[in-house]
Amino acid sequence: MDINLIKNKVLTVFEKHKLDLFDISIEKMGSEKILTILIDNELDHETLEPIHMEVLDLINDDLPDDYYLELSTVGIERPLRSLDEIKENIGKYVYIETESFMGDATLDDVIDDQLYISFFIKGRPKKLQISYENIKFIRQAVKF
């Protein structure tokens, strides 16, 4: 399967519908193989389904028979893939994984490559400084 060929075909559909591509990846879930295409726009189900069919029709010959196509939006808990994307989320709620911290926090500031977060442990406010290089994973989070 030629991912670049598929990506170029997908981008033609996305341009037509004024959509932004977030990522294309291949995953294995048990014995199933899935080509996942993530859209970086908010769409409802009625809008997404015809686009899904249009993409599938366009790449059907390029997608091996043992693969499923998953086309969806990144969603509300979108991964933050770079320091620039993290900086765009200052003041927002995030989920962070490092060796020393794992959990939800408010991203208070980013200075150079240092993230400043605040969170609660047993109802008590805490603050922490985390180096960007120590982050294993970070995404937007929803505060309930």
Please give the pLDDT value at position 20.
94
Give the fold, CATH level 3, of 3-73.
GMP Synthetase; Chain A, domain 3 (3.30.300)
Please give the pLDDT value at position 25.
93
Tokens of 108: 């208070």
Please give the pLDDT value at position 1.
84
Bridge partners of residue 103, in order along the sequence: 96
CATH 3.40.50.980 fits 83-140, yes or no: no
The C-alpha atoms of residue 11 and residue 16 are separated, in whole angstroms, by 8
Please give the pLDDT value at position 144.
77
Q: Give, in order, the Cα–Cα distances in Å from 142 to each of 78, 83, 106.
A: 10, 20, 11
144 residues of the chain, pLDDT tens digit each: 889 999 999 999 999 999 999 999 999 888 889 999 999 998 888 999 999 999 999 999 999 888 999 999 998 898 999 999 999 999 999 999 999 999 999 999 999 999 999 999 988 999 999 999 999 999 999 887
Please give the pLDDT value at position 103.
95
Tokens of 15: 């341009």
Please give the pLDDT value at position 87.
96
The C-alpha atoms of residue 78 and residue 73 are separated, in whole angstroms, by 9
| Domain range list for the chain | 3-73, 83-140
Please give the pLDDT value at position 143.
84
